[in-house]
Structure 1
């Protein structure tokens, strides 16, 4: 007697596991919806409120740019730039310590990775709140917050670039008796330089966006002007500030793209 086999994409155990995942997702969604406590009246009224908000934001108060936006915008760029430089200075030794082909001590590798993970796991706004409490409101707190937030990003990518280096030149320098600084400068640096500059430009681009936001908690930059305008219900000034933020972010993106094309 010929046996007939029926092909099935998933085994019974796999189907049960998939059903459990779907059921868990639905339960989590239902629990979230109940916890959020959405008020239907606010949802129904949202289109009217949005239309009213846009009406108050137009026309844009362009005269306010010279008085209350220009200096804040320049301060935002300074925070992003100095924060990126600070991050690179702190991330370079951490990246060296995290690279297993350079630092042969596992405990130091794990310690460096802990620093990198800790930096990335804390949002820039949280860093900003912390340093505003330490240094007080202003650009200094914003610069340090951007720097500490960027250590994890820069250090991780730098460590990965170091671990991918060709060991041939390194071994040749060691065989010739070259000191450790020479090995770093002549063996590792030429190989990681393109990645380093790419990381720098990419992180600066990100920091321009983040430095526009941290001012909402008092860490300097154009976010302070935005928060002030919103608190005073000057919506025509809010629209101007939002337009400036959008413009500077787009300009930074174009600038980074052009520079990357030339140096990498």
Structure 2
């Protein structure tokens, strides 16, 4: 720690003069940035609506309660579509993510110079765009419906699954691979008997974890026309049917909680 000498005594200081000036300069810069951003936000905000928000929320709560329980008979098919979107999208993503992961891992890629950068680009590109944006693009290409939702979930999940899987591949025990290679096994045999058995627990955990995430994401894809219960929510919001909206939100909550419970049980059984 910096020490200041004065009259044959040493006085402890937490920071030197240069470190203290740098510390305070960083604080002043951060404060200035915060004030500037707050000013920009304030100019773009209608504060009257912000102050009136509690009254509006209370009015909507009054209109939305009690939920319209008889409407639940019309939510069976949307819930089933939502489950299909999440499940089929996850399965399709895994089919595409596995080869991408093997091409991205340093110890399994056929070419670190050409193929690995392409695989990493696929991982980054699919992870960087939200599922709702993918759904909007796919609806413009193939039209609205459940199929667009399945593809949106699948594309969004490729990067997530492939990234975690290729990291698991790079962390395998190489001694097992070397032992199988020493027997004269081919490249595919080494992969099948030396690599795949080591990453199967990670693969199963990643699959269930991503399915759990996709359950939640698929509930809102209907807001842009990609099918599922979100489509019913959007229709109810458009006609201001607040009792139906509250019921749909409750159903979504229960649906997500059940999906989380199933995911936790499956992960516990695997691990």
TM-score higher than 0.5: yes
**Please, which runs of 5 or more residues in structure 1 have no aligned partner?**
none
Aligned twin of 1:186: 193
Check 1:12–1:151 CA distance in 2 against 1; reply closer, same or farther (3 A cut).
farther
Equivalent position of 2:216 in the other structure: 209
How many residues align structurally? 263
- If the length of structure 2 is used for normalisation, what is the TM-score? 0.92
Match of 1:153 in 2: 160
In structure 2, the CA distance between the partners of 1:106 and 1:136, relative to structure 1 (3 Å rule), is: same
Report SS of the residue matched to 1:118: helix
Correspondent of 1:23 among 14, 28, 33: 28
- Find out whether 1:233 has 2:240 as its counterpart: yes
How far the C-alpha of 1:34 sits from its partner, in A, is 2.8
CA deviations on 1:199-229 (whole Å, 9 max, x unpaired) are 0000000000011112111111111111111
The residue that corresponds to 1:70 in the other structure is 76
Change (3 A) 1:19 1:213: farther
Per the alignment, residue 105 of structure 1 pairs with: 111
Measure, in 2, the Cα distance between the counterparts of 1:257 and 1:130: 33
Q: Tell me how far apart the structure 1 counterparts of residues 209 and 72 of structure 2 sit (CA, whole Å).
A: 28
The aligned residue for residue 3 of structure 2 is none
Name the TM-score, length of structure 1 as normaliser: 0.95
Match of 2:229 among 222, 241, 245: 222
Equivalents in 2 of 1:235, 1:198: separation in Å? 39
Partner residue, 2:65: 58
Structure 1 stretches of 4+ moved >6 Å: none
Q: Which has the larger radius of gyration?
A: 2
Match of 2:96 among 65, 73, 90: 90
How much does 1:66 deviate?
1.1
Question: CA 1:106–1:229 in structure 2 vs 1: closer, same or farther (change >3 Å)?
Answer: same
* Offset of residue 2 of structure 1: 5.5
Compared CA separation, residues 21 and 123, structure 1 to 2 (3 A) = farther
Say yes or no: does 1:126 pair with 2:133: yes
Distance 1:213 1:238 in 2: 13
Q: Give the gaps of 5 or more residues in structure 2.
A: 1-5
2: CA distance, partners of 1:105 / 1:243: 50
Work out whether 1:260 is the aligned partner of 2:260. Answer: no
2:147 corresponds in structure 1 to: 140
The farther-off stretch of 117-126 and 9-18 is 9-18
